[in-house]
Structure formats: C-alpha cells, structure tokens
A = this chain, B = another copy of it.
Amino acid sequence: MDKAIGVFDSGIGGLTVVKELLKLLPHEDIVYFGDTARVPYGVKSRETIIKFSLENTLFLLQKNVKVIVVACNTSSSLALPVIRQHFKIPIIGVILPGAKEAVYATKNGRVGVIGTRATINSGAYEQEIKRLDNKIKVFSQACPMFVPIVEEDWVNDDIALHVAHKYLAPLRGKNIDTLILGCTHYPLLKPKIHAIMGRGVRLIDSAQQVAQEVRQVLIQEGLLSKNKKKSTREYFVSDEVAIFANVASRFLGEKLKDVKKAGVC
C-alpha cells in the first residue's frame, strides 16, 4: 500500500497547507491530525509545545506516513529540531519555506514577521532569514488576538481592523516591503492587513511554498506516489468532530469528509 503524507497542526489552520498539497500533489494520500483538544499552542511554553508536537508525530507515524509536515508555525518554530533529532522520517516545517520566499521577494532587504507569541519569541523566522541572507533586516511582532478573531469569524468586522491597526502600527514605520504571515490563521485576515500595511507590502503566506517543498522532498527521496487513482484523505482531531468541522471548511476551501476523533493523550 502506498504511504500517505502526514500533516499535523495545533488545530485547523494547517488545513491551508492541505489545500495546497491537494492542488499540487493530487495523487498523494493525506492523513491530517489537528490537536483541537489542546489548541492553541501559541500561548504555551517551549517544553509543552515540544511534548505535544512529539506526540502528534508519533500519532501520524502509526498511520503509515512517508513524510511529516508540521503545518503549524508555533510547532515548527519550537519543536522542529527536536522532532528531527528523534525521528528518521523526513520532517518538513513551515518556517524555512516562508523565510526563503520572503528573502526572494524583498527588494529593500526589510522584512516583517507576524505570528503567535511563542513563534515570535522563538526568533525562528529571523534565524532562517539571517542564515539565507544576513544583510536582511527583520522586524517581528506577536499578534495573539488574530487567531481568536479568525475563529470567531470576525475577519470582516471593524474590530478586526482596530486590532490589526494596534498590532501593525509598530511595523508601519519600519519601511518593510515584505511581511511574513507566520501563522496559518493569518491569511484569512489578508484584506485588513493589506489595508493597514498598504498594497506595496507583499504578504507571504507559506502554504504554497510548503507544498512545493513537500514535492521536492518526495522527489529527492524517491517517495512520489506512482498511483494515478483518486487519492484518499483522512482527518483526525483530538476534540469532538462537530466542533472542528464547522470552522474547518473555511480553511480547506471545501467540505471535510471522513473526520474522526483520535486521542493523543
């Protein structure tokens, strides 16, 4: 049996990555795990995020996967080195693809990064960008309220604009031409972020780049599916399915089928 691509996230935001994988690699089977019982990760400590991420990895490994995508910026920022250290399977995070794209996109060498508090405090994006080009200046800002606003479906409300203004004001004076949306929820706020930062600032949403990276790794490792039949998708969540399915279709862009509950802890 062909092995699947495993994807995990703290919750449902990682479905934006699944959406791009379905487009780019339509013949690959996918197993998704969303840790909806313990979401969010972005306000928690490094140690806890690593523990949860290792458990999620272990869950996916038992589902017969050939590669694991950490489709969560917080997990990728804090847990990726530890996951890679312990497991043999290829692991792909979302930080490097986003950082690469930002380095490629910026003309003036001034890049902004927004994300959860844990992601921003980790300095992960800044490190990757500096490793790729150490002349680039990076300006970071945590935006903890963006996730609740997306989950509350207030993205078109004036409150979203006020909140975005409050967080982004410090970045507006920095003359950045590129802004990394370092959390899978943030692309849903693109119109508000554009309205505040101006159309001249390019917004980097790494989901497409992550899918490209997955394709590269599968080719390199000789793991691309030779299957031409319709691929399968399985979705697992740690909290009740009903709670998850409601919001999930906004991220995936289509209705979810075959969602099952699975306990990791």
- List the interface of chain A (C-beta within 8 A of B): 36-39, 43-48, 144-145, 148-149, 151-152, 154, 157-159, 162-163, 166, 238-240, 242-243, 265
Residues of B within 8 A of A45 (CB): 239-240, 242-243
In the complex, residue of chain B having the shortest beta-carbon distance to the beta carbon of A146: B148
The answer on a CB contact under 8 Å between B240 and A48 is: yes
Give, as a whole number of angstroms, the nearest-CB distance from A227 to chain B: 35
A152 to B145, CA, bound (A): 8
In the complex, residue of chain B having the shortest beta-carbon distance to the beta carbon of A261: B47
The DSSP consensus for interface residues of chain A is loop
The answer on a CB contact under 8 Å between A152 and B159 is: no
The answer on a CB contact under 8 Å between A37 and B43 is: no
In the complex, residue of chain B having the shortest beta-carbon distance to the beta carbon of A148: B148
The answer on a CB contact under 8 Å between B159 and A243 is: no
Give, as a whole number of angstroms, the nearest-CB distance from A157 to chain B: 8
Number of copies of this kind of chain in the complex? 2
Residues of B within 8 A of A46 (CB): 240
Extra A-B contacts (11), CB below 8 Å, given A159-B159, A265-B265: A37-B44, A38-B38, A44-B239, A45-B239, A45-B243, A144-B148, A144-B152, A145-B148, A145-B149, A158-B162, A159-B163
Q: Determine which of B36, B44, B151, B162 lies in contact with A159 in the assembled complex, contact meaning CB atoms within 8 Å.
A: B162
Given contacts A158-B162, A159-B159, A162-B162, contact A47 B144 (CB under 8 A): no
Query: Can you offer 29 A-B residue contacts whose CB atoms are under 8 A?
Result: A36-B44, A37-B38, A37-B44, A38-B38, A39-B43, A43-B151, A43-B243, A44-B239, A44-B240, A44-B243, A45-B242, A45-B243, A46-B240, A48-B238, A48-B239, A48-B240, A144-B148, A144-B151, A144-B152, A145-B148, A145-B149, A145-B154, A148-B148, A157-B166, A159-B159, A159-B162, A159-B163, A159-B166, A162-B162
